[in-house]
Structures are given as C-alpha cells and as structure tokens.
Amino acid sequence: MADLDGLTTAIEAGDRTAAARATQQAIDAGRNPQSILDAMTAAMNNVGGRFQRNEIFVPEMLIAARAMKEATALLEPLLVAADIRPEATAVIGTVKGDLHDIGKNLVGMMWKGANIEVIDLGTNVPPERYVEAARTHGARIIGISALLTTTMTGMGDVVRAVRDAGMGDVRIIVGGAPVTAEFAREIGADGYAPDAGSAVEVAKAALAR
C-alpha cells in the first residue's frame, strides 16, 4: 500500500529521492491523484508552520520546496488528466526599484506548495507588468514584495494600477521587511504576510473574502 504519510514526511524532510519514490509508488498503486496532492500540500503546510515557529529555517524550507516540486512534476500528468487544477493563479514580484528576491521566492515556493500556480515576474517590476500578467494568466492574487523603506511606497502604485484596470476582484497581498499590516491597510492591499510561513494562510483568507 503506497504510503502517503511517508510522502508527507519525505517532503517535509526535504528528501527529494524519497519523495519522488513515494510519489511514484502511490501513482503505480493507483492512488487518487487528489489524495497524493493533498499529502504533498499537507507537507508544505507543516513546513510553513514550523518555519513560523522558528523550528526550521530558510535552507530547510528550500529543500522541502524542492522535494515538493520534483514530486509534483511526477504527478502533474495525472492531475491534468483528472482535470485537477491549481486552486488559484498568483502573480508575484518585487516592487519597482527593488532587487531583493529571497522573500518573494520563498513565498512563491509556499504558494506552489499549496497548489497555487505562481507566475514569477522577478524583481524591479513596474506596476503595469503586474496588471498585464494578472490579466494574461487570469490571476486571482498579486503578491508584492519590498525590502526597502524607499521602495515599498511603490506597492501603493501597484494597488492603484490594478484597481484602475478594473481588476477589483484580484486580491493583492504585500510583504517584506519594512512592510506592516498598517501599511498594507493604508495602501488598500487585501492582505499582509509577515513571513513566508504565513503566506499561504493569508492568500487563502484573501481568496475566501
């Protein structure tokens, strides 16, 4: 019997080899693709929680995300065949003028781990690119990261651009070292993620509204 608990454990531990093996065994055993995916997302949910509690740190999050990514690649054809789609599509980027990417990358990994499709625009992204990408990909979430007090003001520009484009139903989530919940409210963002570990919870809460 394919061990889905073992799959969850392997991803959490960042063991890419064991995760791939457990995934293939589950596929070969004819397990429902959704249940396999659920085991994977459960792992990343645990990773996010442990990161928030400072039980694990950035390297452990990265190896877990990599194990998830490689395991998901094996599962993807079955997901497509079963018409199991990502829960949502998110566009993510670092704000214009800012070159930092590690925070954005970690959030992107956590969102992928929660079965949210992520379109990563990179760093130094002007407002119009967020709008264009969200429109092109049918994104329901836009994630914006900033690491500097001098660049975070650009997040307000993105919010305005998105709303001016008539995309009021797109949820905008902001985060980064200088960003606070109060700032997020001031600029009209829909959510604030204080760290990568909380990013999934914040995204799901924003989508549920």
Partner 1 sequence: MVDTIVGSAAGRFERARERVADAYRHRPVTTPPVVVGDCNYWITGEDPTRIPEDYFEASGYDSMRRFQEAKIASHVERIDDDYVPFLFPWYGTGVVPSALGSRIIFQRGEEPAIEGPILGSPAEVRRLEPPDPRRDGLMPRVLGCIDRFKATSGLPASFTDCQGPLNIALSLAGVEQLCLWMYDAPMAVHELMDFATTVLIDWLVVQKTHAGQPMGSGAFPHAMVLPDGFGGVWISDDDCTILSAPLYREFVVPYNSRVLRAFGGGTLHFCGNAPHQVDNFLATDGLVGINNWCMGEFESVRRMQDAFEGRVVLMVCDTTPLDAERYFRELFGFLRPTGTIVGTYPAPANALDAGSHRVVSVRQDQAEVADRAWAIIRRLLGGRDG
Binding site residues, partner 1, CB under 8 A = 14, 54, 56-60, 62-63, 66, 97, 99, 102, 105, 148-150, 152-153, 177-183
CB 52 to partner 1: min, Å:
14
How far apart CA 177 and CA 183 sit, in angstroms, is 12
Give the nearer residue to partner 1 in terms of CB position, either 164 or 186: 186
* Smallest distance from partner 1 to CB 125, Å: 15
Of 19 and 26, the one with the shorter C-beta distance to partner 1 is 19
Nearer to partner 1, 25 or 153 (CB): 153
Distance of closest approach, residue 158 Cβ to partner 1, in angstroms: 17
Least distance (Å) between residue 169 CB and partner 1: 29
Looking at the Cβ atoms of 35 and 150, the one nearer to partner 1 is: 150
CB of 59 to partner 1, least distance (A): 4
Strand partners, 120: 92
Give the whole-angstrom CA distance, residue 42 versus residue 97.
36
The position carrying tokens 């990417």 is 101
* Residues 43 and 31: beta-carbon distance below 8 Å: no
Select 41 or 105, whichever has its Cβ closest to partner 1. 105
Question: What's the closest the beta carbon of residue 100 comes to partner 1, in angstroms?
Answer: 9
Instruction: Bin 83: left if φ > 0, else alpha if -120 < ψ < 50, else beta.
Output: left
Residue number with CB closer to partner 1 (22 or 61): 61
